[in-house]
Amino acid sequence: MNLGITIIRGRHSVRDFKDEPVDEKVILDALECARAAPTAMNAQPWVFVAIRDKALLKQVADITDHGSFIADSAVCFAVFGEKSAKYYLEDCSAATENIILALQSYGVGSCWVAGDKKPYVDSIRALLKVSEKYTLVSLVPAGMPKDIRIAPKKPLSEVAFFDTYEES
């Protein structure tokens, strides 16, 4: 396996973090990788907020329904998409995965926490003082992993095909 494949296949959602900071260089690299993601018509319809303040992390955690572990993360990336851009959801999802993989390349664990479609998008946007023209797409709490659980994946033969789909 080459390095890229090793990083991608080595990624698993981490929800249990050590009480250690993440280097600012790592955070900036993750943000640079977010910025480098592909976007429809190169619109780049996004803003990113890296939350490090412990009180803010706790507030964000409390607002979410399945993100209590955000409170224990060293940093949480919030990805906001510009609602007027037709493909903001796809664009911001690409940026989110780039953040996650950039972190993984440094051994920093993270987990995608839902933003889009959740009732709390506006509360988190307002808390972070982001303009109403944006909406929350995702949250990515990150930190040094304490515990990693491996989620089962469907076998390749069940989900991928050459040329045409074959019913099993």
Residues at the contact surface with ligand FMN, assessed by CB under 6 A: 12-13, 15, 66-67, 111-114, 151
Residue closer to ligand FMN, measured from CB, 9 or 86 = 9
Q: Which is nearer to ligand FMN, 45 or 141 (CB)?
A: 141
Q: How far is the CB of 48 from ligand FMN (least distance, A)?
A: 17
Provide, rounded to whole angstroms, the least separation between the CB of residue 67 and ligand FMN: 5
Q: Give the nearest distance from C-beta 124 to ligand FMN in angstroms.
A: 12
Beta strand pairing call for 75-82 and 134-143: antiparallel
What's phi and psi for 146, nearest 5 deg?
-100, -40
Query: Shortest distance, CB of residue 163 to ligand FMN, whole angstroms?
Result: 28
Of residues 31 and 113, the one with the C-beta less far from ligand FMN:
113
Cα–Cα distance measured from residue 64 to residue 71, given in angstroms and rounded to the nearest whole number? 11
Report yes or no: 48 and 141 within 8 Å, Cβ to Cβ.
no
Of 54 and 66, nearer to ligand FMN (C-beta) is 66
